[in-house]
Amino acid sequence: MTGPAADAYPPRPGDPPPGFPGQPEIPWPGAPGQPEIPWPGAPGQPEIPWPGAPGRPGTPQQPAAPPEPAVAPDQMWPDRSQWPGRLYERLFDRRIVLAHGNLDDEAATSLCAQLLTLDAELNAPIRLEVQGLNAELAAALTVMGVLDTLRVPVRAYAGGQVAGPALGVLAAATERRAYPNAVFLLSEPRLDFHGSATSLSSHEEQVRTMLDALYRRLADVTGREVDEIRADARRGRYLSVADAVGYGLIQEQAQPR
């Protein structure tokens, strides 16, 4: 009887592996003389259906994540659409009135209305912030007339450049102080007028009268002559805070609170 082939038995511990020198090679499928192992999908072999193919259930879909709730983003800055109005209201509640930019007839009317309202509401001082103010001559005289009739004291604080007739608004306040950055410009107002020669002559006379009223008020406050004020305005004299104190236009520099 012929015994079984050596390859039919499992290797024993210490036996060299197949293919070791002196050992027979184990043929692989597809090697010469060995049959090929057909792969699924090869010619003559059935296709293996993938999940989701016809006739085979697909892979179950993962449940969709719930949509993120619509949350309005936090505003890092306040709504600026109503910012000026709300800020002015808060200042007004604290009896602070702001005059800035160009003071024309419309702005003068609004400023006078605020001053008269605060004067009627409470017997307490009003703080008038004069910030970077220019003014038309007639508008400045209008505000000056209202300031002269108020019962309560008005404490004015000037900042930026205050020029021309706007100095009359500052001079009409009961107390006058300036921030360190303030600059004052004594200058004549710029006027535009169109009309006939007769009306131009009449307008020129009216402007001269209003200018005299402005210069007299500045002279009364500063203790200087009207002609000196007029001469400084014609040549456009600039004053720093220290110069304005010495000139008599303001009383002192504003101090930290």
- Domain of residue 167, CATH code: 3.90.226.10
Q: How many angstroms separate the first and last alpha carbons of the chain?
A: 122
DSSP per-residue string spanning the chain: -PPPPGGGSPPPTTPPPTTSTTS---PPTTSTTS---PPTTSTTS---PPTTSTTSPPPPPPPPPPPPP--PPPPSS--GGGHHHHHHHHHHHTTEEEEEEEE-HHHHHHHHHHHHHHHHH-SS-EEEEEEEEEE-HHHHHHHHHHHHH-SS-EEEEEESEEETTHHHHHHTSSEEEE-TT-EEEE-PPP----S-HHHHHHHHHHHHHHHHHHHHHHHHHHT--HHHHHHHHHTTEEE-HHHHHHHTS-SEE----
- Number of alpha carbons in the 13 Å side-chain half-sphere of residue 146: 19
Q: What is the pLDDT along the chain (257 residues), one digit of tens a residue?
A: 445 444 445 556 666 665 556 666 666 666 667 666 666 666 666 666 665 556 555 556 666 666 665 555 444 444 545 556 788 889 999 999 999 999 999 999 999 999 999 999 999 999 999 999 999 999 999 999 999 999 999 999 999 999 999 999 999 999 999 999 999 999 998 776 666 656 667 778 888 999 999 999 999 999 999 999 999 999 999 999 999 999 999 999 998 87
pLDDT at 204: 80
- Predicted confidence at residue 107, as pLDDT, reads 94
Any idea which residue has 């300036």 for tokens? Answer: 178
Q: What is the pLDDT of residue 183?
A: 97
Range of the domain at 222: 82-253
Residue pair 130/159 in contact by the 8 Å Cβ criterion? yes
Q: At what angle do helices 137-149 and 197-222 cross, to 10 degrees?
A: 40
Please report whether residue 212 resides in a domain: yes
Tell me whether residue 40 is in a domain: no
Whether residue 88 is contained in a domain is answered as yes
Provide the number of structural domains found in the chain.
1
- Per-residue pLDDT at 77: 45
CA distance 86 to 84: 6
Residue 164 and residue 193 in contact, taking contact as beta carbons nearer than 8 Å: no
Specify if 95 maps to a domain: yes
In a domain, 21, yes or no: no
Cα distance between residue 175 and residue 207, in whole Å: 28
What per-residue confidence (pLDDT) applies to 116?
96
The pLDDT, as a whole number, for residue 78 is 46
d(CA 175, CA 154): 6
Does residue 248 form part of some domain?
A: yes
